[in-house]
Chains A and B, each alone.
Chain A
Amino acid sequence: MNIPTHLKYTKSHEWVKLEEDGTVTTGITIHAQELLGDMVFVEIPQAGRHLKQGEECAVVESVKAAADVYAPISGEVITINPELESAPEKINEDAHSAWLYKINPSNIEELNDLLDSSEYQKILESEAH
């Protein structure tokens, strides 16, 4: 499976990208969208909302089920992906381009709590057994 090494990951299957301007972009992983199947609905937190790391903040729904999405890091939501409301299938097409929202982190140190690609790979392997 494609698990890019420049991204960080959560156990709850979010991917996290630290941008050059210090903001953080996040979405759900290829593995998560595969488990869920065809996406039909997403609900993303509004810009301006303050999130705590680990907080339930978004919902993605596929034909099969609804899944909660958790904030990978604390901070303020600065922008959301406007495309996903009308085209949630973009998550299935390319989970790494179909970001959900960008966050201005309040404590960048929290990034250290996240998994790197090889740790995330191990989580996937353990779930497969």
Chain B
Amino acid sequence: MKTTSLNQVHRDMNAKMVDFGGWDMPLHYGSQLDEHHSIRKDAGMFDVSHMLAVDIKGEGSRDFLRQLVANNVDKLIQPGKALYTCMLNPEGGVIDDLIIYFLSESWFRMVVNAGTSEKDISWIQAQRNELAPELKITSRRDLSMIAVQGPNARAKVWQVIPGSQAATEDLKLFQSIMFEQYFIARTGYTGEDGFEITLPESDAKHLWNSLHAAGVAPAGLGARDTLRLEAGMNLYGQDMDETTNPLESGLSWTVDLKSERNFIGKKELIKTQAKYQLFGLLLLDRGVLRSHQKVSAQQNSERSVGEITSGGFSPTLNSSIALARLSAEVSIGDEVQVLIRDKALRARIVKYPFVRNGKSLI
């Protein structure tokens, strides 16, 4: 099993470890609910070193990315700016979702999902060979990543990395900066403020322990999932994959069809009439929504309207919520039925995100 540079640190902190796509990662350090609340109310941290930073270097990097991904890298004007995007196959299916950081015209960094990293690299290399053979693509497995999230996350980082406050306090959301050996971005996957810090593997343990000593709660993949679900953020492999297109996955806002660019997958997307859309669901009866549960019309449980892609218990709302791919004919505010163990339970279609910056939006 693959391990991050913090593996022993997690074990020493009594983490319950799980196999996450071939990586030995912490699920929780005792209580996933406590970890969730720490991040909503104070500060917590995740080891996200299983994700992969990929550096793209050389003249013409921007032009390569114009073709490689569905969002438009021409939105990246100021160095340090980040962009969330999907990388599509020619059929318009999602190979992965990722963030691209613009560091200079000859250096862009992509951060891709752990479970998809190998196929991503071969795909990117194959496209490079065809479109821009002079570019250099480097997998940065020598780097670790720690996400520090929560209303007090930035202040805790400033407390433990001397000089970092002056360097990063003016960063806006989706901006980043290189500071000493740290690459600090004001991004995250929780719906809270915070930083994602990329740093040399050999420095990760020291930063983790310093943050812990400053009162930042270690948090595992369990809390990461409930936080991102409340924040209405897609999870690759559940809410979208190679067989679904971004327009039916709540990701239209990340696809730029207006510019002249010819990105991979565009031809198919233009032809697509989205029959489905991603909606939020709030369970009105008692129970827990889970992925793959079937959703049907309110008065007629025979009439399927779609399926839950990600479901779970929302610790902030103290009820169950889900993202569901539903027929475009339903609307926000409608009541639907969800089949849970042969029982039809009532749920309401709601707008997501469910929670932002510690507050319920429902």
Contact = CB atoms under 8 A, between A and B. Distances in A.
Given A37-B32, A38-B31, A38-B33, A66 B222 contact: no
15 contacts: A37-B16, A37-B27, A38-B31, A40-B320, A41-B287, A41-B313, A41-B320, A43-B287, A59-B341, A61-B288, A63-B33, A63-B226, A66-B341, A89-B33, A92-B31
B258 interface: no
B186 interface: no
A64 interface: yes
Nearest to B225: A63
A63 B290 contact: no
A63 B312 contact: yes
Contacts of A89: 33
A38 B225 CA distance: 14
A52 to B, nearest CB: 18
Nearest to B287: A41
B128 interface: no
B341 A38 contact: no
Given A37-B32, A38-B31, A66-B288, 13 more contacts: A37-B28, A37-B31, A37-B222, A41-B286, A41-B287, A41-B313, A61-B313, A63-B222, A63-B312, A66-B290, A66-B341, A85-B286, A92-B31
- Give 10 nearest A-B pairs by CB, closest first: A40-B313, A38-B33, A61-B288, A41-B288, A63-B32, A38-B32, A63-B313, A38-B31, A37-B32, A63-B222
Contacts of B320: 40-41
Contacts of B287: 41, 43, 61
Contacts of B33: 38, 63, 89
Given A59-B341, A63-B312, A40 B288 contact: yes
Contacts of B31: 37-38, 92
A43 B341 CA distance: 12
A91 B341 CA distance: 22
Contacts of A92: 31
B350 to A, nearest CB: 19
Interface in B23-48: 27-28, 31-33
Nearest to B319: A40
Interface in A81-106: 85, 89, 92
Contacts of B27: 37, 64
Which of A40, A61, A89 is packed against the most chain B CB atoms within 10 Å?
Answer: A40
B126 to A, nearest CB: 37
Of listed A37, A43, A63, A66, residue having the most chain B CB within 10 A: A63
B292 to A, nearest CB: 12
Interface string A37-68: 11011010000000000000001010110100
B281 to A, nearest CB: 16
B33 to A, nearest CB: 5
Contacts of A43: 286-287
Interface in B222-264: 222, 226
Interface string B64-92: 00000000000000000000000000000
A100 to B, nearest CB: 16
A53 B247 CA distance: 50
Contacts of B312: 63
A89 B30 CA distance: 13
A37 B288 CA distance: 15
A43 B288 CA distance: 11
A126 to B, nearest CB: 20
A78 B219 CA distance: 41
Contacts of B341: 59, 66
A13 B289 CA distance: 24
A46 to B, nearest CB: 14
A37 B315 CA distance: 14
Contacts of B315: 63
Interface string B1-30: 000000000000000100000000001100
Contacts of B222: 37, 63-64
Contacts of A85: 286
